[in-house]
Amino acid sequence: MKNIKRITTIVLLILLLLSGSVFAAGFQITSIPDPFPSVDTTYFGRWTALPSTITFDTNGGSEIDDMSDVTDAVVADITMPTTTRDGYTFLGWFDNEVLTGEAVTELPGTYPANGITYYAKWNVSSQSVTYVYNDGVTDNLVITAESGTLLSEPTSPDREGYSLNGWYKDSGLTDKWNFSTDIVSTDLALYAGWSTVVELPAEGTALMDATWEEIALVAEKGLGDTYWDVGDTKTVSIGGTSYTVAIYGFDHDDLANDQGKANITFGIVGEAVSTHALNPTCTNLYGWDETDMRAYLNGVETFWTNDLSSNYNSNSLLYNVHACQDTK
């Protein structure tokens, strides 16, 4: 009797191994049965979807949360998210780090195998900068500047009787723009701040007729004794009260912190505004280092040397040096 070998066809239907899936056994067959089954038999592969994440690299823009699900899960909303970045224009999302090719305009319909990252592309924005000259004559100057850059200070127009103090971020001229450090980030206006040019008073101008700005300029140039004399007087308002002050001396009192001499020292005439005790170090706490102390005691000007002896330290003398207007 002739042996007939029955060949049984075994069909293994194995789903293609797709990235993003893993084989999961149900009733698991781990090897081909021996002996072969008596009828044709089909085996099926079973898969479980792996996690999938959609990530957004904003490249300096506002952050966007990742989206996570499993491979082939339906993306509920395929609208691409939005991101912002000061000083930049958004050019779109790209599926590669070098930002080449066409921009991606919508999310995939399902979560892709192994996830995906989208990259934001930006272009530096141009901002409008308006220079407001505040002189009543010159038209505003409008320029464009790239975000993240410094500005160059514009040429100041001639304005008779005035000098330019600088450019300010506000019309109230309280916040000055620093051309060395301030960076353009949005459209802005800068406002010119002006001050009156002060000139030296005419020769022979009486102290009473000179403005304090003119007196300050005279003192700044060290010319006090060429204009006026010790004892010359002027009216000044201190704390809302009007006082008469007189010149006490020229280049006499030492300024604090080794700043040199006060070119002109003023004192209130005939009236002490407070009582103060002389101290052991002979230091005036209101702006002068060691110097001859000048005081009015009962209306008489008195002088104390730098080396005050200890018996004077506890005396309370009426003096007004500390209340003087000290003009450097």
Annotation: CATH topology of 129-196? Immunoglobulin-like (2.60.40)
DSSP 103: P
Across the range 191-204, mean pLDDT stands at: 90
- Ranges 44-53, 60-69, 156-165, most confident: 60-69
Contact yes or no for 128/144 (Cβ under 8 A)? yes
Query: Is the full-model pTM beyond 0.75?
Result: no
Domain residue ranges of the chain, discontinuous segments joined by +: 10-49, 51-124, 129-196, 207-327
Q: Where are the alpha helices (DSSP H) in 152-259?
A: 212-220, 224-227
Share of the chain above pLDDT 70, in %: 72
Tell me: the pLDDT tens digits for 237-250?
777 888 888 888 88
Q: Do domains 51-124 and 129-196 have the same CATH topology?
A: yes
Under DSSP, the state recorded for 313 is T
Looking at the DSSP assignment, which residues form a beta bridge with residue 51?
70
Using the predicted structure, report yes or no on whether residue 310 has a pLDDT greater than 70: no
Q: How many CB atoms lie within 10 A of CB 43?
A: 13
The CATH number of the structural domain formed by 51-124 is 2.60.40.4270
pLDDT, tens digit (0-9, with 9 covering 90-100), for 78-137 = 999 999 998 889 999 999 999 999 999 999 999 999 999 999 999 988 899 999 999 999
Query: What is the pLDDT averaged over residues 162-180?
Result: 93
Neighbours of 195 (CB within 10 A): 11
Highest mean pLDDT among 7-16, 32-41, 204-213, 284-293: 204-213
